[in-house]
Structure 1
Amino acid sequence: MTTRRNFLVSGAVLATGLGYCYQRGLRYPRLSFEPRALSSNLNQPEAAITLADAISLPDLDRLAFRAIAPSPKITLELNTSSLHFSLNNVVKTATLNIQTSGNSTVEEEVQGITRILSINGQAGQTIDLQWHANLDDGLDFAIIGDTGGGQELDWCLQRASEIDAQFLLHLGDFNYTDGEYTRAIEQFHQAPLPCYVTIGNHDFNDSGLVYSHFLRNIGPLNNYFELAGTRFINIDTAADFFPAQAGLRGNMLRSLSRTSWHGDNSLLFTHSPLRDPRPMDDHEVGGINEVAWLSDMATKIDAENLLCGHVHHSAELDINGLHQWTIGEGLGHEDLIHQQQVASMLMGRVEPGRPVDYRWIDLAMPWRFHTSPTHAAKLTRDKRTPQLEWYKSILSSTQPI
């Protein structure tokens, strides 16, 4: 009887554990549960705060937030008569709409992609702050991935701004070497244009799991926003999932598949490709049944394009009607292989009532920006001795930035 009771208890514990794993999702390699999303409700001494399409930044000097979509909203229930904070990553065209339950003054100062807010009101007062991107008639956006967090990222941000992109979709892997994580966060926060970043396989593992760094400084692992008739859907493929449909990614995609969408386009942006565009290579989503499930969900949400990086190459593939764009040349490494500037980034044009128009453009990265330690390591690994010697000569002859 005792043996049967122990068996039943063990079975119940196992079933509970499997159910929990199904809900949370297991990520591997570096086996771990999917990290929980940050709360959108904050209780600060100055105010109770509710965030939509924004996160709270770990700034010790004052309240600071970061937009994770072009039209963020912050709702404040004041505990004091005055409040000061900043909102980073705001599109330059955004205008602020204010709704308040009483008399108040709201002053906004624009500093690049950061807005500085000073509010004077009354304790107990509710204030809604909604930024409108004013891009519903159309916009251009840039896409690149695998930049690392050094001078190559500096150039990619500068290049995207030069070609008049309203924002950049960064496809992950901004952290290849020591110190790049912290530097990349600063670069994104001080960029000449807003950046919406999907997590890469190098971005959650930095001498241990560092999901909290990404979530608290960059944004969520899965989210979406709508603009000019197009849904931009960020999905996490930095690690493999088991089961494929588990966790926050699964919940979001299932929710989108059940929601009526009357817009024009849906696009997915993520880190890993569903299929490696290079013959005989397999840098791609690799979880059990994961590619099949993601492909099925892409069909159900009417996504026709998948934007991905991970592979340090530029390519296009059709996967059962889903057009995969691989845009992973953020380091400009192919420039060194070919000893000329051949690397590309992608531009997208969104207009209401029209398909998204994609076009390749030259990355045009100057030689003095090719400074990542990974360049020499990869050329050595791949036994590209002539290119390595040529690269060393370039480094010694170019002026530092």
Structure 2
Amino acid sequence: MSSNSRRRFIQGLGLSAIAAGSIYSCRRGIRYPTLGLEPNALASTFVNRGGSIEVDSADVIETTQTNNDRLTFRAFSAEPRLKVTAKEDGQAFIELGNVATDASLSWDGSQNDIEERVSGIRRSLTISMKKGDVQQLSWKLPYESDFTFASIGDSGGDKELAWCIQRAHELGAKFLLHLGDFNYQPGDYQRSIDLFNNSPIPCYVSIGNHDFHENGAIYQQFLEQIGPLNHSFTIGKTRFLNLDTAANTLPYSSGLRGKLVKEIQAQNSLVTDTVSFTHRPLHDPLHNSTHDIGSEGERDWLISALKMTGSSTLLSGHIHIYDRTEFHGIDNIIAGQGLGHQDLITRSDYSKIVIGRVSNDGSVNYTAEPLSMPMELHCHPRSQPVIDSLRQSNSADEYEELLNMIETSCASTQTTS
């Protein structure tokens, strides 16, 4: 079937789905109509179990509600803000994760006693407050420009993801934009959550098509442990915009994604550059699969939305390659090599991780750096077909020592299959 025929077929399927109601497709994750399967907006007001404090914030999700009075949050903004209101006299206990180690805390409110303990990207706060006190807390980075960040996707949720995070840190990235698909095998979801939470740098994650269906739709796990499906934050004059393309949408501009785009379009913003990141790319440079955004209408809407929000670059994964192509005025950079399969085939640092460098005026320049994943970390079940094909190839003798080393290493670490 030709590309155009395929698109017409998908669009025809969409029209049939509108007539029939909601249809869910594991292949493309189609949501019809009007995002009926989309979760509601995340809460922005949180109360601890004892009811002694209330926290308002648009920059965090609550990840755990325990039996004590401690509220536990994960930030999805680089410079999060919290408004804490005391309902009773006493101490407020707050855990806040995914905050850069070098971010500094400031507050604007009554003269309360505030203790902050920093452990990696996690902050533990103890605040002594009296009933009726209001405390505005905010974290500020020591830079607004002249910094780097990393971007990669399709890593699965095991040793390969751990390496992607470590490699980003080694390359001097202040944070990682993960482009989705960390969930390929049983156990990946919790392993990924643990790796994101214990990373040396903050991780902001775009949901992939593999990340919302595991024994059915599981958006809730993503929302409760990782972050919203659509959000944005700014550092200095640079905006970072996370857009959900894990599943097709009709109408294209509907739902929380469309609402976010409209809000940004309406802002009188002084940003110089907008870095947009998502899972599925605008186009498929391989021309022989269905690994693009899947609908010409949605693709064209997204291109228009990117331009209206000041974004000339879209970082995406989904296809397990590195590619950089100007597509209808958008610099679409595909960085889906988180499993590093091409390194096995070429026996070299073929796979890439993308580094963005923010200049003094807030604009961003991109380079592709070697992922340099150690060969002994290629233990993901998705690597097995690659290993098998190499063993059966005409060059099998050339790969024998390497493949034996990988299989021995993977067997010794008892990687989950």
State if a TM-score over 0.5 links the two structures: yes
Q: Which amino acid aligns with 1:346?
A: V
Query: Which of 209, 215, 219 is 1:211 aligned to?
Result: 219
Say yes or no: does 1:335 pair with 2:339.
no
Q: Which amino acid aligns with 1:394?
A: M
Alpha-carbon shift at residue 162 of structure 1 (Å): 1.0
Say yes or no: does 1:96 pair with 2:105.
yes
Alpha-carbon shift at residue 253 of structure 1 (Å): 0.9
For residue 322 of structure 1, what is the aligned residue in structure 2?
330
Deviations 1:148-173 (Å, cap 9, x if unpaired)? 00000111111111111110000011
Say yes or no: does 1:302 pair with 2:310.
yes
Alpha-carbon shift at residue 69 of structure 1 (Å): 1.2
Distance 1:367 1:59, change over 3 A: farther
User: Size of the alignment, in residue pairs?
Assistant: 377
For residue 393 of structure 1, what is the aligned residue in structure 2?
404
Alpha-carbon shift at residue 52 of structure 1 (Å): 2.6
Say yes or no: does 1:119 pair with 2:90.
no
Query: Which of 48, 58, 69 is 1:52 aligned to?
Result: 58
Q: Which amino acid aligns with 1:56?
A: E
For residue 370 of structure 1, what is the aligned residue in structure 2?
378
**Segment drifting more, 169-178 vs 273-282:** 273-282
5+ residue gaps, structure 2, are 1-17, 23-27
SS in 2 for 1:297: helix
Normalising to structure 1: TM-score of the pair? 0.88
Alpha-carbon shift at residue 255 of structure 1 (Å): 1.9
5+ residue gaps, structure 1, are 1-16, 22-26
**Segment drifting more, 72-81 vs 107-116:** 72-81
Say yes or no: does 1:84 pair with 2:54.
no
Q: Which amino acid aligns with 1:209?
A: A
**Segment drifting more, 156-165 vs 388-397:** 388-397
**Segment drifting more, 223-232 vs 173-182:** 223-232
Deviations 1:15-49 (Å, cap 9, x if unpaired)? xx99x99xxxxx94376521112110123313111
Query: Which of 346, 359, 381 is 1:351 aligned to?
Result: 359
Aligned-partner Cα distance in 2 for 1:174–1:199: 9
Contact 2:149 2:174 in 1 (8 A): yes
Q: Percent identity?
A: 36
Alpha-carbon shift at residue 266 of structure 1 (Å): 1.1
**Segment drifting more, 383-392 vs 31-40:** 383-392
Alpha-carbon shift at residue 285 of structure 1 (Å): 0.5
RMSD between superposed Cα atoms in Å: 2.2
Aligned-partner Cα distance in 1 for 2:360–2:37: 39
SS in 2 for 1:161: helix
Matches within 5 A, 1:104-183: 104-183=112-191
For residue 227 of structure 1, what is the aligned residue in structure 2?
235
Contact 2:106 2:138 in 1 (8 A): yes
Q: Which amino acid aligns with 2:39?
A: P
Contact 1:313 1:329 in 2 (8 A): yes
For residue 200 of structure 1, what is the aligned residue in structure 2?
208
Deviations 1:269-304 (Å, cap 9, x if unpaired)? 000001012232330111361001001111212211
Aligned-partner Cα distance in 1 for 2:392–2:258: 45
Deviations 1:123-145 (Å, cap 9, x if unpaired)? 22111111112221321101110
Contact 1:222 1:236 in 2 (8 A): yes
SS in 2 for 1:298: helix
Normalising to structure 2: TM-score of the pair? 0.85
Contact 1:93 1:135 in 2 (8 A): no
Alpha-carbon shift at residue 121 of structure 1 (Å): 1.5
Aligned-partner Cα distance in 2 for 1:384–1:305: 39
Aligned-partner Cα distance in 1 for 2:182–2:45: 29
Aligned-partner Cα distance in 2 for 1:73–1:355: 25
Distance 1:223 1:373, change over 3 A: same
Alpha-carbon shift at residue 395 of structure 1 (Å): 2.2
Contact 1:138 1:352 in 2 (8 A): yes
SS in 2 for 1:303: coil
Aligned-partner Cα distance in 1 for 2:155–2:52: 38
Aligned-partner Cα distance in 1 for 2:305–2:168: 30
Aligned-partner Cα distance in 2 for 1:231–1:30: 28
Alpha-carbon shift at residue 396 of structure 1 (Å): 3.1
Aligned-partner Cα distance in 1 for 2:392–2:303: 40
Deviations 1:344-387 (Å, cap 9, x if unpaired)? 1010111232531111111000011111111114565x787338
Aligned-partner Cα distance in 2 for 1:385–1:225: 49
SS in 2 for 1:58: strand
SS in 1 for 2:292: coil
SS in 2 for 1:52: coil
Alpha-carbon shift at residue 228 of structure 1 (Å): 2.7
Q: Which amino acid aligns with 2:190?
A: T
Alpha-carbon shift at residue 230 of structure 1 (Å): 0.9
Contact 1:141 1:169 in 2 (8 A): yes
For residue 24 of structure 1, what is the aligned residue in structure 2?
none
Contact 1:143 1:327 in 2 (8 A): yes
Aligned-partner Cα distance in 1 for 2:29–2:290: 16
Query: Which of 267, 270, 275 is 1:262 aligned to?
Result: 270
Q: Which amino acid aligns with 2:97?
A: N
Deviations 1:173-221 (Å, cap 9, x if unpaired)? 1110001101110110001110000001111111111101101110000
Distance 1:328 1:41, change over 3 A: same
SS in 2 for 1:242: coil
Distance 1:369 1:39, change over 3 A: same
Aligned-partner Cα distance in 2 for 1:156–1:383: 24
Aligned-partner Cα distance in 2 for 1:93–1:38: 27
Alpha-carbon shift at residue 257 of structure 1 (Å): 1.8
SS in 1 for 2:264: helix
Deviations 1:246-280 (Å, cap 9, x if unpaired)? 10101111221222222211121000001012232
